[in-house]
Structure 1
Amino acid sequence: MSDSNAVAAVTRALQVVLGQALSDTVRGVQVTSTTPDEAASGQNQPALNVFLYRMTIDGTWRNADPPGVRPGETGRPALPVVLHYLLTPYTNDDPHSRAALRILGAAMAALHDHCVLGPEDYDKSEGLGDAHLQPEPVRITPADLSVDDMSKLWSAFQSQYRVSVAYEARVVLLDSARPARAPLPVVRRGAEGRGPEASADPADPSPTLSGVTPEVAAVDDEIILSGAKLDAGTPVVHLTHPLFGAVSLVTTAVSEHEVRAKVEGDNLVPGPWSVTVVLTSDDGTRQVTRTLPLAVAPRITTSPLPLKGRRGSDGNVKLKVDCEPSVAAGQRIQLLVGDRPVPVTAFRGPREKKLTFSFPFSGPGRHVLRLRVDGVDSSVLDGDAVPPRFKDDLAVVLT
């Protein structure tokens, strides 16, 4: 996600947005980011200076769990930074001339219409980190400074006052350098390892959906949707993702209390989905059950396994991992090496099945591998073993 380069990345993105908006307002206008005294000296053409004069901490995000960390895992919260900018127009003539006021008015109108920095606003060619991938977009809002506050600012700048306007960029999340820890999952809970059971009201004539088994499924797995009156029409199982649309699954078996379907489809990506059953009767009447969550887990398909990793000349271990289904650009992708989350380092969108990860070599050993996409982990359990245990081949051997 974001590192210390994010402050420079947001400042550069703000310059790009304002530069595009001002290009049609005043011919030859520049958008700079220097101190007010430097901007005023030697100014040979119209300019708008975007000066970062203050940085504060957002208390709302101060103790929030870092993105991607699940319950039971440990990780230092991201540092939530609020950036305070002063926008000042500069021209060759009077500081309050028509040209200066036109530049400032156009800048305010641009930020009014473009108040959220999207991924397309960042200049990714300058190597300023991954601020465009942070889960909370940076919002630009006006800051109401009093006359006294503005007077103190310009006194501190030791520069002649010019008409200006203040804005806040909230919030820039700087990742902690301390690594998170993701313990391995619990293999078994209780004597039977069974969760809660629920049953539908027999007096209710409508079809109901009460459970999905398993709650986490991989591609080609069969899911069992349990409920009541699920044979009241021709069933179609729909998976819906908040970003990647809907997928219809092929049903393999239907009964009054169960609908079975196979998890497959070209548009599937790993991550959290929702599942529902649509029943169509012979007369065309459609009934839709309630929606339940279903996680589609990634699967590591690299061959052969276990992987072997060596320390490179830069002190890092580089691993190439194949997966299915393919992951999409913008998803949060991590490789869990034992209990160490490692973010993806190479990704060529929009879809990719071959991923590259790099992490510091910490010593020889054997570590269990899990692939995590948007908070959903690949399975590491050997379902055929009694009692359950981890798969022997889903690991990396570091030498």
Structure 2
Amino acid sequence: MSNALAIAGVSAVLKDLLDSGLIDHQVTDALGAGVLVSSLAPDMVPISGDGAVPRLNLFLHQVTPNAAWRNVELPSANASGRRIRNPPLALDLHYLLTAYGIAELQAEVLLGYGMQLLHDNPVLSRAAIRAALNPSPVSGALLPTVYQALRSADLAEQVELLKITPTAMNAEEMSRLWSALTAHYRPTAAFQVSVVLIESQAAAVSPLPVLTRGQRIPPLIPGEPEREEGVVVTPGLVPPYPTLESVNVAAHETPSTLQVGDLATVRGHHLAGTSRFLVLRNDVFRLAHEIALPDGSDDTVLNFTASLPASLPAGLYRLELRVLRPGEAAPRTSNPLPVALAPVITFPPVAMTRSAGNTLSLRIGFQPEVRVGQKVALLMDTREAPAQPFNASTGALDFNFADAPPAGATPLLRLKVDGIESIAIDRGARPPVFFSHRIKLPV
């Protein structure tokens, strides 16, 4: 595969193809003047004065994804976000070939030769690419700096050869393009070069080859080698692997939400076994906490208490079950189930004061602790106040409410950490009711 220098490398190869072709066809003799091949933006090409000379100009005006290659080697990462392969960045390059002349018919002559050269070379060979980017016997030190860098583009080593295809642009498209370029129009032909494959060199995780499908089992004939167990076929629509479907807490019945100390029920299938652990993973802080479970024979339900350390912050987690299933030699890990760990306010508040300017200051205790970088806010009924700045993990923070409600009011408090609110509703009641998370405001 090529690298990030491949796009510039293609322009350099095309420029070399046109330059060499014009020399071979002795175009200078036909025009009676020297010819220049450039790869500038059209608005940078001089069309008058001393810099105006007969020239062919290449301009890369658009880069598009290649439809045939864009899904190759995907996905590039596994479920945990680790890179498992480097899919190529497949691109089609769209060029304008423009002819400039300083005398009558010069532009037409140059455009004709340029289009013929591209037509005669519809595929750029690896030898032509190497000769253009690493000319011999010319020393690389004599080349301009950018051309010295292009020698390492690896363009000739990519698996696909570069193909040149003419494309049609109608008058409206051409007019809009040249208007956007703020340049004077000259005879122009459009063409496409496909496909450039740019591949990253980032490290990836590569799985080992498969030795056997299933376990080794005794041979049918004594003395023969052991056999593969083969693919296990299970009739039915339920896969025979540990699967978590839901987590519920009877104390509040908030879907997929836990608080520290909750007694939770997880439902699924194929949950029975030994050496069982529930694992809570937080991708933001790269944390993993294991909760040991007793061995069990119930395949559909398991109960656990969320006895979590104070250092495990509120936020979004992935809940997984690791279990050694009956009759198996290695433990299995279930699917990840998204779960929110909600903060819990400690009542009553640590401190409440009201200033002469009617600003209410509250110091609220809570669990688990919040970490530096987490966004914390306190909601008092419909009012919201951000936490005062803190520079270390803490279980208590200060909040200020300007123009506070009058003394004696009993607003409902909710704490929000990284967008996850403390649980304020008992959804198990019929109809649902608020928990008694209210305070009485001071004078």
Q: Give TM class, smaller chain.
A: 0.3 to 0.5
- Select the structure that is richer in strand: 1
Q: Highest CA radius of gyration, 1 or 2? A: 2
TM-score normalised according to structure 1 size: 0.45
Q: Using CA pairs below 8 Å that are at least 6 residues apart, which structure has the higher relative contact order?
A: 1
